[in-house]
Structure 1
Amino acid sequence: MTTRPTSAFLNTFVAAAALLVAGCGSKSEKEVASGTYTDPETGETAEYKVTSDDGEAGNVTIKTADGEVSFGGGAAHAKLPAGIAPYPGARMTGGLSSSGKDGNAGMASFEVKGKAADVIAHFRKQVEAQGMKVTSEITADQTMMFAAQKADDDKSGMQFTATQEGDQVRGSVTYGHRR
């Protein structure tokens, strides 16, 4: 599944990311910025809101006529796809999610004490139980990855990554579904 974001989305994303960085460093959960952004190329507008929490986690939400995207640090934005449970003991560290008329997508990052091979096996067992087929696997240095999709659905898929760092594993789950 390959999609190309529109320039309006890219411009909005860049502006929101800049606001996210500007919002970091606040000492309490609060709205740092909000308003409406107008794409200079298309004239399309998007609403945005940036919050900051104790200088550690900044969050951005962008709403357009086509849908919504949210991203930031912490568990609030680390949403796993339906039917996928986190590895036991994992701490969700951040992510993004988007939804619109064409489908939905997201990414959730995590960290956990353990072995990358065990984390990958945990997720693989879940996707196979859902009738999904592993379509690719890669192991490089300390990183293991695999991708999966349902046999009858070439518009949806999931990718799982786990990197060993000492006794810790840092990883992510990325997913998308096009209608």
Structure 2
Amino acid sequence: MITREIGRNVLMRALIIAGLAAVTLGVGACSSEKSGTFTDGDGNTGEYTVDSESGETAVTVETGEGTATMRSGTDVPVDLPGGFTIYPGAKVASNTIVSHGEGEGSMVILETDATPAELAEFYGAQAKDAGVEIQMDMTTGDTKMLAGETAEGLVFSLNATRQGDLTTAQVMVGDQMGR
């Protein structure tokens, strides 16, 4: 459990750093690409690149647990671990992929006409096929959330919210992150 937590911390650190780099560089972007290095509060070092034309951000972080890499943007190819796929007809608004050691993970933001319940049925079936034990299944208003994991280290979550005729969903799937 502790190693999974380390992996999740590395994943979250990479996502936060990428977001900060994108925001910081996006404000004063004069050329099509910006890059640099950083050291976080824990002494970890990294490099980042933000392409202002495509919006893609790439980050590499060196930690005591190894190297974590991340790519994020609208045109980053989607390759969800564990046999998960994109809901048919959904538009990918953003995709973030992270790798750390033997682990890999993706966070995809989707937009679709399907309801949160339809997305939960689709992704719940994929989770079952992947051997994921659903540990959270919650509906509140126009929002549906599912989350679970396998004993082997595959983690999954869905958070889908309906506004008007559009559902926005965040799908996260990670395999062996932090193991």
Which TM-score band (shorter chain)?
Answer: 0.7 to 0.9
Q: Which has the higher contact order (CA 8 A, sep 6+)?
A: 2
Higher strand proportion: 1
Unmatched 5+ residue regions in structure 2?
Answer: none
Higher helix proportion: 2
Name the larger-Rg structure.
1
Out of 132-141 and 83-92, give the one that drifted further: 132-141
CA distance in 1 between partners of 2:28 and 2:38 (Å): 23
- Give the equivalent residue in structure 2 for 1:60: 57
How far 1:94 sits from its partner (Å)?
Answer: 1.1
**1:18-167 map, 5 Å:** 18-24=20-26, 30-31=32-33, 33-39=34-40, 42=43, 44-53=44-53, 58-65=55-62, 66-76=66-76, 79-101=79-101, 103-150=103-150, 152-153=151-152, 155-167=153-165
CA distance in 2 between partners of 1:35 and 1:63 (Å): 11
How far 1:142 sits from its partner (Å)?
Answer: 0.5
2:91–2:111: 8 Å Cα contact kept in structure 1? yes
Shift in CA distance, 62/115, structure 1 to aligned 2, threshold 3 Å? same
TM-score normalized by structure 2?
0.76
| Aligned partner of residue 127 in structure 1, secondary structure | helix
Shift in CA distance, 143/103, structure 1 to aligned 2, threshold 3 Å? same
Shift in CA distance, 75/15, structure 1 to aligned 2, threshold 3 Å? closer
CA distance in 2 between partners of 1:63 and 1:86 (Å): 26
1:78–1:93: 8 Å Cα contact kept in structure 2? no
Q: Percent identity?
A: 24
1:59–1:70: 8 Å Cα contact kept in structure 2? no
CA distance in 2 between partners of 1:14 and 1:146 (Å): 23
Q: How many residues align?
A: 169
| Aligned partner of residue 80 in structure 2, secondary structure | coil
Q: What does the per-residue CA deviation read over 1:97-126, in whole Å, with 9 as the maximum and x for residues that have no partner?
A: 221227333311110112111111111111
How far 1:130 sits from its partner (Å)?
Answer: 2.4
User: RMSD value over aligned CA atoms?
Assistant: 3.1
CA distance in 2 between partners of 1:156 and 1:3 (Å): 13
1:77–1:96: 8 Å Cα contact kept in structure 2? no
- The correspondence for 1:171, drawn from 169, 173, 179, is 169
